[in-house]
Amino acid sequence: MITKNNILLYLATIATAVLLLACTSNIDTDYNNKFDFTQVKSYGIFPRESKFTELQRMSDFQRNRIELAIENQMDSQNFEYKNFEQADVIVTYFLVGTSLGELQTYNKGVMACLACSQKEQATLNAGIRRSMLVIDILDSDKKRSVFRGFIKVNIKEKNTSEENQAETVQAVKEILSQFPPIQ
């Protein structure tokens, strides 16, 4: 028998399912299964005057927003911040704007794919699109990516600063919550 309560319960269930699907992010991660992540206790970030910062075009404001979110998330996961030269790993990031070509330059900079052919670059970047945040974690000895995560971010000029900050923090949190990977 169809009652008003049954209909309301049915509609509430559908609404909840729709909301859950809308809030589900499409995070993608990959890692080097030969790297011993159990030894990672500390992390660092390249300084502003390093060659790394030349790999991406972004304002100091954007850098601050991303780096603060990285520091807060890594600290919440009990990783100790150290100078990048003393850290076990180095956290790097790339905000994909309108050009995926810049991503290839970044990939070479973080050694995500050494001497990759165009086809291999295409495979490496297969899931990465415009308006995505890419976070790489580099082995501090080899300066080579051992973990990569990426997710779509809704950072827009029309958003308020607080909205863009919240979007950045959430994206960083979702990516880094996958680190270290379960091996």
Degrees, nearest 5: CA angle 154-78-165: 20
User: What pLDDT shows up at residue 169?
Assistant: 96
What number of CA atoms fall less than 13 Å from residue 89's CA on the CB side?
24
Q: Is residue 160, in this structure, part of any structural domain at all?
A: yes
Q: For residue 25, give the nearest of 148, 153, 176 by alpha carbon.
A: 153
pLDDT digits (tens, 9 = 90+) for 94-131: 998 867 778 877 887 777 765 566 666 666 677 888 88
pLDDT bucket at 8, cuts 50 / 70 / 90: very low
Quote the number of domains for the chain.
Answer: 1
Q: Is residue 3, in this structure, part of any structural domain at all?
A: no
Q: Is residue 123, in this structure, part of any structural domain at all?
A: yes
Q: Is residue 63, in this structure, part of any structural domain at all?
A: yes
Model pTM?
A: 0.80
Q: Is residue 72, in this structure, part of any structural domain at all?
A: yes
Looking up residue 147, the CATH number of its domain turns out to be 3.30.160
User: What pLDDT shows up at residue 89?
Assistant: 97
Q: Per mean pLDDT, which range of 109-113, 129-133, 137-141, 155-159 is the poorest? A: 109-113
Domain limits for position 111:
27-176
Share of the chain above pLDDT 70, in %: 78
